[in-house]
């Protein structure tokens, strides 16, 4: 290691050809010593993580601003407050989660005791993306600590300032024998993945998700893959158009559109599209001013490669709002595209940038058929002043999350699970729909309460 507590570079310590083997076996030895198991230990580590969030809040805001000009309000909300929520949830419930769950018995076992014990996996690898470089590392870390695991955290190499903060500062708060940070690009991560982990929690793109799953399969290591998606948003003719516009603009352009659960495209009637376009323009101006480029509340695309990819998608359909770009600043204006065909590039891949598409449909049935003809999304959104319509969309589509008459808000509830319709995560879906706000949950955090 480079000598920093719990921070690890490529280190074989002469023990093996794999540069990370020494680190993994050091953590495995710590895990086998059972020190991460007692409630008091887990609570102490979680509280230390809480102090990191409290004492280093300003550093987090500065790092994410340098990385992608993340607006301070957005950074505080998404990178700090949502982590604190998750942390409080774990601290408030941990002793209950850790208890054995006694189960029903049959006649033959009446005198026995039958129970489910929640046991940690062991050494867990968490690999994070760049779009929420703190939140998407710390939330799985909270689950992993709460469940009594040892953890290696691998931040994204694209958000250099956040990566440096995690590498240099976070280990000062945690037990260095049980928690380590590895900073690594693709080549080093490939070597890291050659090691046997007991669980891998990956958040990122579907293409890299396949690579992670293949590497995990060699060791039969269970994985959670939190991947991308393309989230539809049905808007009924019955809606209050101003209200819908403000909520869709907030959800779509938060973090400059680089949010896996953002609404990517609206499905509505031609008549609603006519009303929605001016209302969306008004909401964009209200939130970011007439020149969003100068707004402190509007972020930037993370890198040049990502900028060029998103910019190329602007050639799909016709620009109804925005469309301006500046490569030097990696700026793409909040944009609305219309007349986009389902076969156009912007409808074929996840946009992951500040572009909203409107697709017109004849009615709710056509909207539902459109959603069901595509990959199952992370979230389905539905807006209607008639709760029956919201429930119809909820009932007749399949997705990781569902949110009626709002956007993004379901992730703020720690009482709801979060995730997609993944290949491996068991569905524990609880879908609720209603006119005022409703979210679906499908998150299983397998690092907490695993059996």
In whole angstroms, the minimum distance from the beta carbon of 138 to ligand NAD comes to 13
Q: Report the residue from 78, 189, 407, 425 that binds ligand NAD according to the rule CB under 6 A.
A: 189
In whole angstroms, the minimum distance from the beta carbon of 228 to ligand NAD comes to 3
Residue in 163, 226, 350, 389 annotated catalytic: 226
Asked if residue 190 binds ligand NAD (CB under 6 A), the reply is yes
On whether the CB atoms of residues 426 and 451 are closer than 8 A, the answer is no
Choice between 104 and 187, CB closer to ligand NAD: 187
Determine phi and psi for 212, rounding to 5 degrees: -65, -45
Choice between 67 and 175, CB closer to ligand NAD: 67
Asked if residue 350 binds ligand NAD (CB under 6 A), the reply is yes
Residue in 150, 233, 260, 403 annotated catalytic: 260
Angle between helices 39-55 and 135-146 (to 10 degrees): 160
Choice between 30 and 184, CB closer to ligand NAD: 184
CB under 6 A: which stretch of 35-43, 138-146, 202-210, 357-365 binds ligand NAD? 202-210
Asked if residue 348 binds ligand NAD (CB under 6 A), the reply is no
Asked if residue 64 binds ligand NAD (CB under 6 A), the reply is no
Angle between helices 82-98 and 39-55 (to 10 degrees): 170
C-alpha–C-alpha distance, residues 239 and 216, integer Å: 46
In whole angstroms, the minimum distance from the beta carbon of 311 to ligand NAD comes to 16
Q: Report the residue from 227, 262, 336, 359 that binds ligand NAD according to the rule CB under 6 A.
A: 227
In the residue annotation, 260 being an active-site residue is answered as: yes
Choice between 216 and 283, CB closer to ligand NAD: 216
Of 373-392, binders to ligand NAD (CB under 6 A) are: 378
Asked if residue 422 binds ligand NAD (CB under 6 A), the reply is no
Fill in the per-residue mask, 114 to 153: x = in contact with ligand NAD (CB under 6 A), - = not in contact: -------------xxxxx----x-----------------
Q: Report the residue from 36, 64, 149, 156 that binds ligand NAD according to the rule CB under 6 A.
A: 156
Choice between 86 and 350, CB closer to ligand NAD: 350
Choice between 35 and 196, CB closer to ligand NAD: 196
In whole angstroms, the minimum distance from the beta carbon of 207 to ligand NAD comes to 7
Q: Report the residue from 4, 89, 157, 297 that binds ligand NAD according to the rule CB under 6 A.
A: 157
Centroid of chain to Cα 64 = 16
CB under 6 A: which stretch of 24-32, 221-229, 320-328, 423-431 binds ligand NAD? 221-229
SS3 for the chain is CCCCCCEECCCCCCCCCCCCHHHHHHHHHHHHCCCCCCHHHHHHHHHHHHHHHHHCHHHHHHHHHHHHCCCHHHHHHHHHHHHHHHHHHHHHHHHHHHCCEECCCCHHHCCCCCEECCCCCCEEEEECCCCCCCHHHHHHHHHHHHCCCEEEEECCCCCHHHHHHHHHCHHHCCCCCCEEEECCCHHHHHHHCCCCCCEEEEECCHHHHHHHHHHHHHCCCCEEEECCCCEEEEECCCCCHHHHHHHHHHHHHHHHHCCCCCEEEEEECHHHHHHHHHHHHHHHHHHHCCCHHHCCCCCCCCCHHHHHHHHHHHHCCEEEECCCEECCCCEECCEEEECCCCCCHHHHCCCCCCEEEEEECCCHHHHHHHHHCCCCCCEEEEECCCHHHHHHHHHHCCCCEEEECCCCHHHHCCCCCCCCCCCCCCCCCECCCCCCCEECECCCCCCCCCC
Choice between 129 and 232, CB closer to ligand NAD: 129
In the residue annotation, 239 being an active-site residue is answered as: no
Asked if residue 265 binds ligand NAD (CB under 6 A), the reply is no
The size of the interface with ligand NAD (CB under 6 A), counted in residues, is: 25
Asked if residue 228 binds ligand NAD (CB under 6 A), the reply is yes
Binding footprint of ligand NAD on the chain (CB under 6 A): 127-131, 136, 154, 156-157, 186, 189-190, 203-205, 208, 211, 226-228, 260, 350, 352, 378, 420
User: What residues are labeled active site?
Assistant: 226, 260
């Amino acid at each position: 290691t480079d000598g920093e507590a719990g921070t690890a570079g490529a280190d074989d310590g002469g023990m093996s050809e794999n540069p990370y083997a020494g680190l993994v076996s050091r953590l495995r030895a710590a895990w086998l010593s059972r020190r991460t198991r007692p409630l008091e230990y887990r609570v102490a580590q979680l509280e230390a993580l809480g102090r990191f969030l409290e004492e280093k809040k300003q550093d987090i805001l500065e790092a994410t601003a340098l990385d992608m000009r993340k607006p301070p309000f957005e950074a505080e909300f998404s990178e700090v407050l949502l982590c604190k929520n998750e942390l409080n949830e774990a601290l408030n419930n941990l002793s209950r989660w850790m208890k054995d769950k006694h189960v029903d018995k049959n006649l033959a076992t009446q005198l026995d005791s039958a129970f489910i014990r929640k046991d940690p996996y062991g050494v867990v690898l968490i690999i994070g993306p760049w779009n929420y470089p703190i939140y998407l590392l710390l939330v799985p870390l909270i689950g992993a600590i709460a469940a009594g695991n040892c953890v290696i955290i691998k931040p994204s190499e694209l958000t250099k300032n956040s990566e440096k903060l995690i590498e240099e500062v976070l280990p000062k708060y945690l037990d260095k024998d049980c928690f380590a940070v590895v900073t690594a690009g693709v080549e080093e991560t490939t070597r890291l993945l050659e090691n046997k982990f007991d669980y891998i929690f990956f958040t990122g793109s579907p293409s890299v998700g396949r690579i992670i799953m293949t590497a995990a399969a060699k060791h039969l290591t269970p994985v959670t893959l939190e991947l991308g998606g393309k989230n539809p948003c049905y808007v009924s003719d019955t809606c209050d158009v101003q209200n819908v516009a403000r909520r869709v603009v907030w959800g779509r352009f938060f973090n400059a559109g680089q949010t896996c659960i953002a609404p990517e495209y609206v499905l509505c009637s031609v008549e609603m599209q006519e009303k929605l376009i001016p209302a969306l323009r008004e909401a964009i101006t209200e939130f970011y001013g007439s020149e969003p480029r100068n707004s402190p509340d509007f972020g930037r695309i993370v890198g040049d490669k990502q900028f060029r990819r998103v910019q190329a998608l602007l050639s799909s359909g016709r620009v109804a709002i925005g469309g301006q770009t500046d490569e030097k600043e990696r700026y793409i204006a909040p944009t609305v595209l219309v007349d986009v065909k389902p076969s156009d590039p912007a409808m074929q891949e996840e946009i992951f940038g500040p572009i909203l598409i409107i697709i017109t449909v004849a009615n709710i049935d056509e909207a539902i058929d459109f959603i069901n003809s595509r990959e199952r999304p992370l979230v389905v959104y539905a807006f209607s002043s008639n709760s029956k319509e919201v429930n119809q969309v909820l009932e007749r589509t399949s997705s990781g999350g569902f949110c009626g008459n709002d956007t993004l808000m379901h992730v703020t509830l720690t009482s709801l699970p979060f995730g997609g319709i993944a290949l491996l995560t068991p569905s524990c879906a609880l879908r609720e729909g209603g006119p005022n706000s409703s979210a679906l949950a499908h998150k299983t955090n397998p690092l907490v309460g695993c059996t």
